[in-house]
Every structure is written in C-alpha cells, then in structure tokens.
Chain A
Amino acid sequence: MTMLQETSAPATTTPRESGDPVVTWAPSVNPGWIHHETALLVDRAQMLQGDVAELHTDAKEIDLAARTVGKARKSVTGLLAELGQDRGMSWSDIASWARVSVSAVRKWRQGGDSTPDNRNRLAMIAALLDWLSEYMIEDPAQWLEMEFPLPAGYHVRPLDLLFAGHVDGLLDIAAQRESVESVLDDTDPDWRDTRRSDFEVFDAGDGHRAIRPRKR
C-alpha cells in the first residue's frame, strides 16, 4: 500500500503495490482497490522474488560490465589520470585494486607496459566511480575511503569490500538496497568477531594521534 503525494498540492493518495511483480502500476488507481489481493499475491511475489533478485544482480553486473567496456577504450595512463587526478584515489589503493605493486603503478603512469587485464581492472574501478556518482554520492573516492557507520569498534570501509571482491554488495549499499550489516553478514559471516577492534585512535596531547584500548 502506498501514497503518492504531490509536494506542492494537497495529498492525493494513489496506490502502488510497491515491488509487487504482478500488478501494472497505475498511479491514478485509488487505494483500497488492490488491498485485498496483497495476501493472495504475496505467495506469488515470494516465488518471483528469487527471479527478480537474480535479475537485479544480473542487471547490475551487466550495467557495470558495459560501463567498464566503455572505460577500457582509454589508455592505462588515461585511466590513471582519471582515477588519480580527477577522482583523487591514492596510488596505493589503485595498486591494491589492480593487484600490482605501487611501483608498477608508477611505471604505468610513466608509460610502462601493462596487460589487458590491468587495463580492465582500472577501467572497472573507473566505471564503478561513475556508477557511484549516479547514486548521488558526490565524491565517490571519498566515500570509498570513509568508514561505514557501524557500531563503535568496527572499522570497515567500502574499499575493504572492494578489495575483497564484493562489488555487488558494495553497489547494493551505495544504492541503499541493502544495509552494511546485511552485506557483511553475507560476505563475511564472522565479521562481528574478526573485524572488531579493541583499540581506538585519539588525539594525544602532543598534536599527534595515538592508540589506546577502547573504552567499553
């Protein structure tokens, strides 16, 4: 059951069977018309949910793959310029993603040899940053480096998911389709134990940061 409200006019209620796969959306249809069918259709919706979820995953992968192909038309130096200068990613993070050493990235920047796989890896992250921008993440490189809002003691960044290869989960978090916790539960079931830190970083009196045991 949904309500469609014009932001500058009195509310007009129109139903949308949110996510219901079996009803053609017609915003002009009044609420209450379909309500009695919700229970009837939930079973069918559940059956189709798997198909729809799979299609969502396929669609994201296809979309990212298509964008990667587009980005891969650029040279490696061009991609590094985009990632480093336009986006502000660190060479170290780019190297980690591309699974090469930092010195290899330096050589690429100076026109050194790279493989097609190297270029595709760089193209993929460039495509991912574009994709994140479209989800109204203003500075995707910044978003990747900032810790997720998790309970105290957990320091997980989007970059960590990226380096672990969980691009799909990362996209779901960015699109607010999944919570961080649910993606971590899927990708790293023990994360609540293994990623908990007993330490916290604080500003010490000498102008530098220091580490101390986290207060419980």
Chain B
Amino acid sequence: MDALDADVLYAGVGDVAWSFPIMQGDVFRDVSLPGFDTPMTVQVVMHPCVMREGDGRLRPRITVAPVVEYEKVTGYVWAKHLRVMPLPKLVPDGGTDHATAFVDTTSSPSSELTLERRIATLSQPGLLVLQQRLIVHATRYAEVDLESLRKQSAPVLMECELQTDWVEAVIERGGQTLEVVDAATTEFLEWLGNGEGSRRERLYNEANYPALRRETRAEIALRYE
C-alpha cells in the first residue's frame, strides 16, 4: 500500500485555485449533510467517471466521506489504517493531522460542494492512492496497483488537466469569480467536443496526450494571451 507525503499528496491545499475542476479527492469545509446537525469537512470519494452528467455538470448528489482529526500516519503505517485516507497537513500551518473516515461514507448535495469551500485537491498520485484505499475498504479485495488505476482513470484525469489549464488562463485574464469559471468551463467543454472525431474521443488513447496538451495550450494562447 502506497504512502505519500503532503508535498506529493496535494495539488493544492489551503487556498486552492478555482481552475481545478471539482474532482474525486477534493476536500470541502462547512458542508451541511442531511441528518447531521453541524456542517462538516468532507472528501469526495465518488469515482470521477460517474461524478458528472452528460453536460459536464456535477450530479445532484455526490458520494463523500467525513474528514476527522486523526493521529499522524506516516510511511508503512498507511498500510495499517485501511479504513481511512490519511490527509497529512490538511491544515497547512502545522495543525493536527486528519483523515477521511470511509466507514461514514454518505452523499452530499453537490450544491454544497462549492469552490469557495474547497480546501484541498489531490495530485494525480494522491488521487490514485485514494482509489486504491477505497477499493480495499469497500471490498477487502487485493491491492490494485497504482499503474492500473492510472490507466483506468487516464481519460478523465487528462480532461481534468486540460480543463485546469484552460480555466486558469481565463481566470488570469478575467479574475477568479464563479461566472468566469463557469463560462470558461463551458468554452472548454465545447472545444473538447463530443462524439466521433472530437478531441474528447482522443482522450481514450494516451498516445494523443502530449499532442492534446500542445493543442490546448496553443488554443489558450490564441484566445486569451
């Protein structure tokens, strides 16, 4: 079972850029969950392939698990705490460690999962480790290697990467507001397209990825720089 330091686990923690699409592994504060009296910190545990509707918007309800204060878990000890996802240094200024408690998985209205409330987003390696632990927790099935998980998630992670670049460029130009992010996301999804011959279709072959990055970044430069 793989273990990751905070530096590698997160792509952003604390003040997380809005250019990152909401994704599995994102941590949100002050989320009101039905049946719970007080708002909680939660992590999205739903698989990215099923988080969104056809138009790219989040489903009405997203599977999440609460984030709680937890003992420090480092190194090989990650393999002993199989009911949680350790979140070291979730509070950037040296506060207590945290972890996501898989046993209390529930669902949250997606309206609660806002960019303003997001306090962490995982890196690609971090997201794959989360998936690995979710599998073990949910099924007690043997450890699936990270490389297989990477290949499985490659198309959606690549789309996420391209969208991040796109929205980031628009934010730099127009400021970090929900309207700017929404408009940029819509433009990106239109550019990515759907169906046969679209750029989205090319996401399903990793050989296309460097070319897709070059094309996307060139298009960004053309439109926004």
A touching B, CB within 8 angstroms: yes
Which positions 123-150 of chain A face chain B at CB distance < 8 Å?
139, 141-142, 145-146
* Contact pattern, B 211-225, Cβ under 8 Å of A = 1, otherwise 0: 111100110010000
- List, in ascending order, chain B residues with CB within 8 A of A142's CB: 207, 209-211
Supposing A88-B209, A142-B207, A145-B209 touch, asked if A155 and B217 sit within 8 A by C-beta, the answer is: no
- List, in ascending order, chain A residues with CB within 8 A of B7's CB: 100-101
Number of A-B contacts (CB under 8 A): 87
The 8 Å CB contact of B155, one of A90, A200, A209, is A209
Measured CA separation A210–B131 after assembly (Å): 13
- Interface pick from B9-17, B26-34, B96-104: B9-17
A209 touches B151 (CB 8 A): yes
* Contact pattern, A 49-92, Cβ under 8 Å of B = 1, otherwise 0: 00000000000000000000000000000000000111111111
Supposing A102-B11, A211-B144 touch, asked if A145 and B210 sit within 8 A by C-beta, the answer is: yes
B142 touches A198 (CB 8 A): yes
Smallest CB gap from B9: residue in A: A101
The 8 Å CB contact of B210, one of A87, A95, A210, is A87
- List, in ascending order, chain A residues with CB within 8 A of B186's CB: none
- List, in ascending order, chain B residues with CB within 8 A of A91's CB: 161
B148 touches A211 (CB 8 A): yes
Is B71 interfacial (CB 8 A cutoff)? no
**A191 → B minimal CB distance (Å):** 13
Measured CA separation A52–B153 after assembly (Å): 45
A201 touches B152 (CB 8 A): yes
List A residues at the B interface (Cβ < 8 Å).
Answer: 84-92, 95-96, 100-103, 106, 110, 139, 141-142, 145-146, 155, 197-201, 208-211
